[in-house]
Structure 1
Amino acid sequence: MSRRAPAAECAALVLLLLLGTACGSRLPESDFENRSTPTQQGGTSPIRVGIITSATSPVGGSTFTGPRDGAKAYFERLDTRGGIGGRPVEVRLCDDGGSGVGNNECVHRLLDEDKVVALVATTSLDYAGAPRVSHARVPDIGGQPIGPAYDTYPHLYGIYGSLAPRNGRTGWDGKLYGGTEVYRYFKRAQGARTAAVVSYNQSASAAYARLVTQGLKAEGYKVVTEQVDFALPNFRAAAADVKEQGADLVFDALDTHGNAQLCKAMDDIGAKVIAKVTNVQNWASTVPEDYKDSPRCRNALWATGSSRNFEDTGDPAVREFRDATKGLSAHSQWQLEGWAAAKWFTDAAKSCARTGVTRACVDDFMNRGEPYTAGGLLVPVTYERLPEPPKTRRTCLSVARWEDDEGWVSQGDMNTTCFEVPQLSYRP
């Protein structure tokens, strides 16, 4: 069984750029020289980790905080149970503000001043400090691949794995690859044949729409493309054409607000589809509020990802996550993935009982070459360095559907919902 390729997730997350643009330049590399940084945290002192989040980014205050909140909850529960070998985990947070300058400042503070042994659940709009993290050989574990950093640099381990060489150049000759498993699933499991792709007339949105269209056509779909004006979108006209063309599925390259407006327009004109498909970023308990004006479309929402549905409380690992986060006002798939990232670091640190918890030891655990599941929360994550990209790959996915009376309802088991699919290239 193979790990789902991260490229599709990465491409979807680029849509966060629609609402704002991170700005700033990198700080001089000389500011980040690694002088006398200890590589071991020993004795009974706390084990210090860092979490970088674009908590106050231009795209909104709550957009990136899910992984941070999940990781914090894991470490808090871990400490109540004795920490790692009797040592508590001390979490140092840094908000980079969504800018490259802010990200470099966070990296500088956490690595050189706070001397963290690792970064965990990084979620940054502009991961400008990634080269510095890699140069310092500080493992970055379970970060969200909003940009291509996790398919570019060694010592960085995104939550979705990577097969790329990671030698300082992105992917293979600047290209990343993603599979068509999502489109294959809806074709086989739901009988879909016609798909609409709705995007803005904006570069990032249009580029992602082209990638989705490419994948759909590779799976034999008839594809209907709809583009709306970014400043003055006419979602009603797009919804009317979706209805006229008889689309079974709707994919989008829109932000959350645009999704809600599209859904409302679809309800208003009576467009019925098998599925309005969204991604892991929008897999959250806030659906009733986000889509309050479109009950029919809301109940046609489907989400796909690579981690176990946070609503699957019958699973003991999910139940533990939900119990530890019951004080949160809402729950999301990104929170669960942040929790999984913290568990990943913890398992790595526990493997260092003989040598002490060092950056090198934690990094060695990450480079074992063995799939990792965080106790069954993740589809097995793998890291390899393939000299050439695979032409096809067996990929598995987690699928859930929203139902007002039940919330997100899983559709089959993520470890058996697998397909051998082609890998299509794109430039990030």
Structure 2
Amino acid sequence: MKKLMAAACAAACIVASAPAYAGNYGPGVTDTEVKIGQTMPYSGPASSFAAIGRAMTAYFEKLNAEGGVNGRKINLVSLDDGYSPSKAVEQTRRLVESDEVLAIVGTFGSPTNFAIQKYLNTRKVPGLFLGTGANRVSEPQTYPWSMGWQPNNHAKGVIYAKYLLKERPNAKVAVLYQNDDFGRDYAKGFRDGLGDKAGSMIVKELSYEITEPTVDSQILLLKSTGADVFLNISTPKFSAQAIKKMTETKWEALHMLSDAAGSISSTLVPAGLENSKGVITVAFRKDPNDPAWAEDPGMKQYLAFMKQYMPNADPSETYYVFGYATAQTFEHVLKACGDELTRENLMKQAASIKDLELPILLPGIKLNTSATHFTPMSQEQLMQFDGTRWKPIGVVIDAAK
């Protein structure tokens, strides 16, 4: 009996002294690997955004070639959802239940993220740095396992309001917004940012449906108000129509575009570059098309990465920049986790980011999170189009301050 007790004691001591890896690891984690998942629109109507997933995949390949993070390789399983909410649910269930990923990282799109949000929160699976500006992916009180990445639409509206209160406090503002979560969140942020002055500064608000062929009639009604500022919360097709209609009718209001319509090729070229002079938008990342960043160290790193790991891709496509920076954010959080790679600690570290500056983001843009603040970025730089490129105006504005 004494021998048996001694043997049991020795075994217990060995177990107690062994590294408790099993207790510190969540699904998808081993001593050598961290498996994460995402869905992307590799097919379907939003397939241009698949560049985000491709860039993230390539960035993790780069990290793995350099030894991984804390000695572990990152295995990103990136599946096609066709920009279909039902497909996103199906693929996400596969990632969680069959592939057993630690977390979902970077899934793109509001409708797809809305579709999977309740499922991930019920299963207590982190959904991190999700590619949508919708407010509801960053509400920790309601969805404690979901976190956005870029400034949300409400914050962008607040930023425009802060700019006008400082630069044009007596402006008469006409607002056009897309009648969905994107447009309504943006417009509410603008009203909230103006505060008590919203009633006197906003002279008219109109919405449009994405199924409408044109917004020409809305532009004519808004022009008739005599507004000298036009906040245009629309997507590229409708923004291009608005720019052209304003030129035709000689409405010379300051034209502020949503960042969703900030593409030179998708919005300003169809509208006419000459017609687009003077329009304003917001941005948070450096543009590879802008020669101002030609000698910037962060841009040089990005271009070198593209050349080595995505040699057949167009480095001037800004969606690659988006994916590259999203992957860098996850790298930062994974490093902070150390060897405690549980879903709970991953979420804790994601909610503990302090003044993170990524080299491909614009100067002054810092990522910050807390247990009650799940929007890593709340800052934007206002940009004005000079007929050739976007140029920064003023200073970086923080919606949270």
| Structure 2 length-normalised TM | 0.72
Which one has more relative contact order, counting CA pairs under 8 Å at least 6 apart? 1
Checking the alignment, whether the CA contact within 8 Å between 2:299 and 2:359 is kept in structure 1 is: no
1:358-401 Cα offsets, whole Å, 9 max, x none, are: 43442332233645444583433223338xxxxxxxx6432222
Show the counterpart of 2:369: 382
Match of 2:228 among 248, 257, 269: 248
Answering whether residue 258 of structure 2 is matched by residue 273 of structure 1, we say: no
Counterpart position of 1:410: 392
Between the aligned partners of 1:369 and 1:346, the Cα distance in structure 2 is 12
CA distance in 1, matches of 2:145, 2:183: 32
Q: Which of 162, 168, 192 lines up with 1:184 in the alignment?
A: 162
Alignment of 1:357-396 (within 5 A): 357-368=341-352, 370-374=354-358, 377=361, 378-385=365-372, 396=379
Q: For 2:352 and 2:104, locate their aligned partners in 1 and report how far apart those are by CA, in whole Å.
A: 18
Report the counterpart of residue 91 of structure 2 in structure 1.
Answer: 106
Q: Secondary structure at the match of 1:41?
A: coil
- Please state how far the C-alpha of 1:284 moved relative to its aligned partner: 3.4
Query: Equivalences for 1:59-208 in 2 at 5 Å?
Result: 59-62=45-48, 64-124=49-109, 125-127=111-113, 128-145=115-132, 147=134, 148-151=136-139, 152-160=142-150, 180-189=158-167, 193-199=171-177, 207=184
Distance 2:161 2:351 in 1: 32
Deviations 1:8-64 (A, max 9, x none): xxxxxxxxxxxxxxxxxxxxxxxxxxxxx95352233x432212224445x5332x4
TM-score by length of 1: 0.68
Superposed CA RMSD: 3.8
* Cα 1:369–1:376 shift into 2, 3 Å: same
The 8 Å contact of residues 303 and 399 in structure 1, kept in 2 or not, is answered as yes
2:301 to 317, 320, 331: 320
The one of 184, 191, 196 aligned to 1:214: 191
Matched residue, 2:30: 42
1:321 & 1:192 partners in 2: Cα distance? Answer: 42
Q: How far is 1:143 from its partner? A: 0.7
For the Cα contact (< 8 Å) 2:149–2:326, is it kept in 1?
yes
The Cα of 1:420 is off from its aligned counterpart by 7.3
- Structure 2: distance between partners of 1:383 and 1:277: 30
Contact 1:50 1:93 in 2 (8 A): yes
8 Å contact kept, 1:197–1:209? no
Tell me the CA shift for residue 145 of structure 1: 3.4
Q: Number of paired residues?
A: 355
State the AA in 2 paired with 1:399. Answer: L
Residue 273 and residue 179 in structure 1: after superposition, are their counterparts in 2 closer, same or farther (change >3 A)?
closer
Can you give the 5+ residue segments of structure 2 that lack an aligned partner in the other structure? 1-24
CA distance 1:122–1:404, change in 2 (3 Å): same
Q: Is the 8 Å Cα contact of residues 71 and 120 (structure 1) preserved in structure 2?
A: no
Mapped contact 2:161–2:191 kept (Cα < 8 A): no
The structure richer in helix per residue is: 2
Corresponding position: 1:284 with 2:266: no
Name the CA shift for 1:385/1:235 in 2 (closer, same or farther; >3 Å): closer
| Residue type at the aligned position of 1:116 | V
Give the CA deviation at 1:142: 1.0
Rg comparison, structure with higher value? 2
State the distance in 2 between where 1:229 and 1:366 align.
36
Aligned equivalent of 1:8: none
Distance 2:30 2:318 in 1: 34
Q: Give the distance between the partners of 2:187 and 2:208, measured in 1 at CA.
A: 14
Change (3 A) 1:328 1:243: farther
Does the 8 Å CA contact 2:155/2:186 hold for their aligned counterparts?
A: no
Q: Relative to structure 1, is the Cα distance of residues 363 and 100 closer, same or farther in structure 2, using a 3 angstrom cutoff? A: same
* Distance change in 2, residues 1:330/1:352 (3 Å): closer
Q: For the residues of structure 1 that align with 2:211 and 2:176, how far apart are their CA atoms?
A: 15
Distance 1:236 1:358, change over 3 A: closer
**In 2, Cα distance between equivalents of 1:240 and 1:73:** 47
Distance 2:181 2:343 in 1: 36
Give the aligned partner of residue 13 of structure 1: none
Partner amino acid for 1:365? Answer: Q
Q: Are residues 43 and 236 of structure 1, via their aligned partners in 2, closer, same or farther at CA, if it must alter by over 3 Å? A: closer
- Distance in 1 (alpha carbons) for counterparts of 2:170 and 2:315: 32
Contact 1:299 1:402 in 2 (8 A): yes
- SS of equivalent residue, structure 2 residue 251: coil
Tell me, yes or no, if the aligned pair for 2:227 and 2:253 is still in contact at 8 Å.
yes
When residues 222 and 293 of structure 1 are mapped into structure 2, their CA distance, relative to the original with a 3 A threshold, is closer
